[in-house]
A and B are shown apart, each in its own frame.
Chain A
Amino acid sequence: MKILVPVKRVIDYNVKPRVKADGTGVDLANVKMSMNPFDEIAVEEAIRLKEKGVATEVVAVSIGVAKAQETLRTALAMGADRAILIQTDDEVEPLGVAKLLAKVQEEEGAGLIILGKQAIDDDSNQTGQMLAALLNLPQGTFASKVEVEGDKVSVTREVDGGLETVKLNVPAIVTTDLRLNEPRYASLPNIMKAKSKPLATKAPADYGVDIGARLETLKVVEPAKRSAGVKVADVDELVAKLKALGVAA
């Protein structure tokens, strides 16, 4: 079975995003960029399935600027076999990404497509579900456990009240939640080896789908700030405050 893993280049998890003064977006100039953390979990899961002998090949794909090559090289260094970059300087919305990925899947015929549940930049949480819809495939979103059993895949999902398990026909779409696994760090020899793994570069036009933006961002602002309040000296003072709030009797 082949596994397709879409990955996105985003602002690094540890960097605090700054809103641009002109309100047009978040300042990404000279900011450290990394692979979206949920996508790292997706890559890790695919590699583990290959190590278990379930998957035969792991293909990473990214849609983005030329520098998204670095993100794909990270996936290759972790253990993916080859990569595809659909290069564009335009911001592509989840719907457009799903359309491009659907075309990639038509060519690749993967048994599983594993994606992060959301990207930590736009926080949309849509691409996996949209891709499943376009391909008419089942979806196991917010996965904390993935088990392939013949032509079915059993996915344990993190839902509001706890956990839920669904069984899906293969091919299937899986989106990852935080506790699915802990992604490995690529070793130096593997980083070197990744440089010679195949990376194909394509353009959105190669796939002939409409990826035009449907949403227009009118402005981006900082959220309302909370200001620090008062410190109380001891528990008695805190109890008095709680009473004033009507929380304590």
Chain B
Amino acid sequence: MTPLEYLVSGLVLAGVFFGFVAVVGIIRLPDLYTRAHATSKSDTLGTVLSLGGVVLLFGADVAAVKTALLLLFMFITNPTAAHAITRAAYEQGIEPWTADDGGGD
């Protein structure tokens, strides 16, 4: 393998790892706010790392520019969507989970 392939594999594997962290977070965490917290951060990072690997693999190409733009918009829109969802939930009066609610199952 060339150094570029090592770099791309590393980025994509790191992306998969953060995607996995987001999935564990959405299954294990107790309420909407903590789940949004887990997914918005690690899912964005996972996607961005994977797409970064894709950009490197494409090299100097139009497709690389398109992927980089996609990456940029992911960075902007993903956290904003999570913000909008949690904000709407808070305005609907959903109480955040606290340790007093118990450890759950």
- Do A and B bind? no
The interface of chain A, by Cβ under 8 A from chain B, is none
